[in-house]
Structure 1
Amino acid sequence: MTRPRNELVSVQDTPYYHVVSRCVRRSYLCGIDHISGKNYEHRRQWIEDRIRILSSLFAIDVCAYAVMSNHHHLVVKICPSQAVEWSDREVASRWTSLFKGPLLIQHWLSGKALNKLQVETVNNMIEVYRKRLSSLSWFMKCLNEPIARQANQEDGCTGHFWESRFKSQALLTEEALLSCMAYVDLNPIRAGIADTPEDSAHTSIKERIKPCFNREKAIKSQHTQSPLKRFDHPIKPLAIFEGNLRNETPLGLPFSAEDYLQLIDSTGRIIRNDKTGAIDSHIPSIFKRLNIDSASWLNHATRFELIYPKKFTKKRQLNVA
């Protein structure tokens, strides 16, 4: 039985979540459908660009992502404190980049004079938008629904494109966060569609490895065909690595970029060569820093979805995020 989202997502417990959405149809989400012979590879870019645009509008940071043939993975950090710092006008601007908004909000943004009751209504609506812009459920709604409509239009059909709900996993420890990010970034290698992380198209690891790629320019080049025609916010980068910060709460990921990239390379080699016994001699120092057992790490990084639902999403009552 599915559980209410407010029992699965609680920023008070952890801001980090692993999210998966799968295509419900037999036909492929992306790539080449071997049954029909159609090529849907271009849809990967739809999803990747949409993820980055939404992250730039929402108070949600993207830690890792991978767009696969019939599903996509996300590791996100929910940052409600970002939304608290936004002015009312910025909140309204961000929301109306996604939705047209009621006429009252449009009048307020254009500077038209409003009476006291109208101003109060606007303030109440903005607070609703502020909460939605730090909601994982709204983020996924704004990601999946437009993609489904666009794909249905392209396929000339109607009906469900995605499964009824996206699946979310709370990442309650640094080990869970780190192994989940590696699991997501190494998905193309595990699926046999890429040989190295830098060749893994439409993944966060490729974007991190090749910082010369102008993400903002790429998204703007497709902007004329995007449903976000009024999008004028700068593209937010992926969640940054801040190193091993222990004396304060890190704003980014509590690992160093060097350690993470070395970790991905080492783990990827083990997966590709079926070395399930031990980690090689170039083990990153982050293992010692987080006290992660090497055999446990390899098991988690190759079978994350089978292990962590039992370990980190126990049935318990959580506060609403």
Structure 2
Amino acid sequence: MTVARSQIVSLDVTTYYHCVSRCVRRAFLCGTDRVTGQSFDHRKQWILDRLGLLSKVFAIDICAYALMSSHYHLVLRVDREQVEAMSDMEVLERWSLLFAGNPLVKLYLAGQELTPMQNQLLAEYVQDIRPRLYDISWFMRSLNEWIARQANKEDRCKGRFWEGRFRTQALLDEHGLLTCMAYVDLNAVRAGVADSPENSDFSSIQARIRSWGMEQGEKAASQCPPLLGFNDSGDDENLLPFTMRDYAELVDWTARNARSDKAGAMDEDAPSLCVRLGIHAEGFVRQMRGLGGSFPTFMGSWQCLQHAAQEKGLRYVRGSGTARRLFCGEVAS
């Protein structure tokens, strides 16, 4: 049964979410149409450029991404506190980067003095748009509508470009976040279009590997869109809760073990992140191969899923079976 997005997205429960958008029927987001031979690879840069702009508007960080021929994946982190601390001026400046048609906002940003009535109207407008800056639906809408318009214009057609509203998955803890990020970063390897993470074009793992070890200025310039960093120093709660070295080790190990000609991963060889989080090595690799079943609406340890069910007044939430297989030492038969 479909779960309402309002039941999935709760910033009081988690700030991390996995979003997927898929093209309708035979429409191509990127890649080459096997029937016509036409290549749409240039659209991948459209998406990255648009994400770069959206990262300047919304207080939503990009943790991982993968651009495929008919769909794309994003792992996002929402920073509501950043928006709540913004001044009205910053809120309006950010919003005007995307929606610049409000004449009252133009007057205010130009420094012109407003009447009491205009100030009241402007305050109400700010109150209305402030929560949009940390709203995943507005973020995805601003991405998908723009891409659809550009693609339809290029294809000289009208109508629906996306299959429907984007799918959302709540990542409840480190277990869910790590598993989902690795799954997204290994999309190209799993699909057979890349032989390694570093050769996975238009993916966050390739961008991270290429920028790893560069000077800070070079690193920032090399990533578009900018990616949320790893907590390498161990003292910043606003970064991803593991180090780049540990994550790269996990993705490399998983990519090598996820090959179809491998018999299976062994817990004795598992990287340090798997050991620390108690992730079952073979179950993790099966999930990365796409053999562990579809990703559930909620992803995380079994304890977190039980807590989420209690918070929502439910007896059960989808994902408990996956959590047991991956994080409780159970192996799918």
TM-score range with shorter-chain normalisation?
A: 0.7 to 0.9
Partner Cα separation in structure 2 for residue 299 and residue 36 of structure 1: 35
Residue 325 of structure 2 corresponds to which residue in structure 1? none
Please point out which of 218, 225, 230 is paired with 1:241.
230
Residue 202 of structure 2 corresponds to which residue in structure 1? 202
Partner Cα separation in structure 2 for residue 116 and residue 276 of structure 1: 72
Deviations 1:22-50 (A, max 9, x none): 00031321111001211111011111221
Residue 228 of structure 1 corresponds to which residue in structure 2? none
- TM-score normalized by the length of structure 2: 0.83
RMSD after superposition: 2.6
Partner Cα separation in structure 1 for residue 219 and residue 231 of structure 2: 21
Query: Does 1:306 find its partner at 2:309?
Result: no
Q: CA deviation at 1:94?
A: 0.6
Deviations 1:76-113 (A, max 9, x none): 11111111122211110110000113111111111111
Partner Cα separation in structure 1 for residue 269 and residue 44 of structure 2: 33
Residue 279 of structure 2 corresponds to which residue in structure 1? 292
Q: Secondary structure at the match of 1:202?
A: coil
Matched letter for residue 284 of structure 1: P
Matches within 5 A, 1:36-51: 36-51=36-51
Partner Cα separation in structure 2 for residue 218 and residue 156 of structure 1: 33
Shift in CA distance, 92/208, structure 1 to aligned 2, threshold 3 Å: same
Structure 1's unaligned 5+ residue stretches are: 220-234
Q: What is the number of residues matched between the two proteins?
A: 302
Query: Does 1:253 find its partner at 2:240?
Result: yes
Percentage identity across aligned positions?
44
Partner Cα separation in structure 2 for residue 214 and residue 202 of structure 1: 18
* Bigger shift: residues 300-309 or 117-126: 300-309
- Greater RCO (Cα-Cα under 8 Å, separation 6 or more): 1
Query: Does 1:7 find its partner at 2:7?
Result: yes
Residue 88 of structure 1 corresponds to which residue in structure 2? 88
Partner Cα separation in structure 2 for residue 40 and residue 237 of structure 1: 23
CA contact 1:262–1:284 (8 Å) conserved in 2: yes
Partner Cα separation in structure 2 for residue 7 and residue 18 of structure 1: 15
Matches within 5 A, 1:96-245: 96-211=96-211, 237-243=226-232, 245=234
CA contact 1:57–1:94 (8 Å) conserved in 2: yes
- TM-score normalized by the length of structure 1: 0.86
CA contact 1:266–1:280 (8 Å) conserved in 2: no
Q: CA deviation at 1:290?
A: 1.2
Partner Cα separation in structure 2 for residue 56 and residue 278 of structure 1: 41
Shift in CA distance, 301/251, structure 1 to aligned 2, threshold 3 Å: same
CA contact 2:172–2:299 (8 Å) conserved in 1: no
Q: CA deviation at 1:281?
A: 6.0
Residue 229 of structure 1 corresponds to which residue in structure 2? none
